[in-house]
Amino acid sequence: MTPTFVDTHCHFDFAPFSGSEEQSLRLAAQAGVEKIIVVGVAADRFDGVMELANRWAPLYAALGTHPMAIAQYEDAHLERLENWLKQQPEKLVAIGEIGLDLFIDDPQFEKQERVLDAQLRLAKRYDLPVILHSRRTHDKLAQHLKRLDLPRGGVVHGFAGSEQQALAFIRAGYAIGVGGTITYERASKTRSTIARLPLTSLLLETDAPDMPLQGFQGQPNRPERVKNVWQSLCELRPESPQEIAETLRENTRTLFQL
């Protein structure tokens, strides 16, 4: 049986995909990628993300304000998000990419926290999962999630923290996004963490065009390379490749109701 995949985190509204969607989706399909969640990062991109999801059958949408867009954030952006949520589009499956980031210059962290909480409250109100970004903020983020207690949970994307931090998110009802980091042998901490976490709490992602995989440094990442992430995961895990592929797909279907 040929495995199939969902790329749960792709910025398909950016180059090199914009303008070559058909070719990019064909390459993804050839690698067994059946569905791709296009993750929004700022209010001025919401309409474009939704347009993509509505135009192309394999594409689904998540909308949110990324913490790296905090300097441009205005309260009107939250209204724009809620306007989309009120319409309950069939292909809008999550709120994201949202979260916290202490890696950027001038993080305006209190503003980040306020914007995160506002978006978490919308996720709760509209009964959607969240796609979470976290750099140097895992413990802080966990506090926010615990306080707001979302029934649908979500995924901590591009996870590179400790096993203890991962298990704290899992206990709170969140999945862990597994991406290209595990393809690098030098990422021994992340690889050993992912090897030991419950398989039922993992999802596949690329973060394309970001987070290039081992062997593709300097090139834009692509959704078809989610298959390479799966292959690396199979080398780290005790389960059979088929069980890994099937469990990941079921995890994704359950979380995002795809």
Which residues participate in the annotated binding site for a divalent metal cation? 9, 11, 97, 133, 157, 207
For residue 232, which phi and psi values (nearest 5 degrees)? -65, -40
State the Cα–Cα distance between residues 47 and 50, nearest whole angstrom: 5
User: How many CB atoms lie under 10 A from the CB of residue 245?
Assistant: 22
Annotated binding site: 9, 11, 97, 133, 157, 207
Going from the C-alpha of 119 to that of each of 32, 60, 63, 67, the distances in angstroms are 33, 19, 10, 11
The tokens for 98 are 């949202």
Q: Which residues lie closer than 8 Å to 57 by C-beta, 6 or more apart? A: none
The DSSP code for 41 is -
Count CA atoms within 13 Å of residue 109 on its CB side. Answer: 11
